[in-house]
Every structure is written in structure tokens, then in C-alpha cells.
Amino acid sequence: MGEQERADGLTTFPHKTVADLICYMPHPENRKSLETFRIWFESQNGPTDMTRYYTCMWPSELQTRLIAIAPQRYYEGLPPFVQDYMKKQIEHAAKIGRIDDLPELHLQLFLTKYFGTDGRSR
């Protein structure tokens, strides 16, 4: 997600930071926030394994399919700093009563966390 189609039909990614390289976000404020969080997270937990092929690096259609059928598996395939970033966003939104304002993926993960492995109520 976040890839751009070139005139020759190839796909490119506009990488400027390590967070962009691993988990590109289209909104500039989110990119900056994620990179700032990554730097802090890695200072506490060590560097991100750059040899892994994380789920957020998959082609968009595969990511979308996995999110639709198994959002928890998608989340578990994210780098640790992205997992923690998303978890903190979900917890903060829940704390201030803004769950409805979360992106769809965050909502799916919120439901997965509280209602079972596939988002369905038990």
C-alpha cells in the first residue's frame, strides 16, 4: 500500500525514511509520526530486522486480501515497531472515546483483539 505507478507501468515506492521503506503510509503526518515512533521504539528495543519481508511490504492486493480474511495474521506479520504503534493508537482512541475515527484496519484489529481471532463475536 502506498506504491505509485510509473509511466512505464512499473511500481515504485517513495522512500525517505526507514519507516517508509518498511511500512509506507500515504499521509505525511502519519509517516512522520511513525518514523518518530520507530526511532524511539528502536532506542528501547533494538533495531528492526531489515532482512524480513513484513506483511506491510506485500503487494497491495495481497495485503488487502489478508486484512479481509485474517486481520490478526496481518498484524502479527508487521514489524514490532508498527505493531506497537498501532496498538498505542487503538488504546489511545479507546481511552478518549474515538474508536469510530480509527482507520478500517485499526477497527478490524480492535474487534479482533476483543471479540476473537477473526473479528466475530464469541
**What tens digit of pLDDT does each residue of 36-80 get?**
999 999 999 999 998 999 999 999 899 889 988 888 899 899 999
- Sign of the CA dihedral with 53 first, then 15, 84, and 101 last: negative
Predicted confidence at residue 14, as pLDDT, reads: 55
**Cα–Cα distance between 78 and 55 in angstroms, integer?**
6
| Cell numbers linked to 16 | 525517505
Q: Where are the domains of the chain?
A: 4-115
**Cα–Cα distance between 77 and 98 in angstroms, integer?**
26
| Residue matched to cell numbers 471479540 | 115
CA geometry: angle 101, 105, 110, nearest 5 deg:
75
pLDDT category, 23, cuts 50, 70, 90? confident
Predicted confidence at residue 70, as pLDDT, reads: 86
Predicted confidence at residue 15, as pLDDT, reads: 57
Q: No. of H helices and E strands in the chain?
A: 6, 2
Per-residue pLDDT reduced to its tens digit, 94-118? 899 988 888 777 777 777 665 444 4
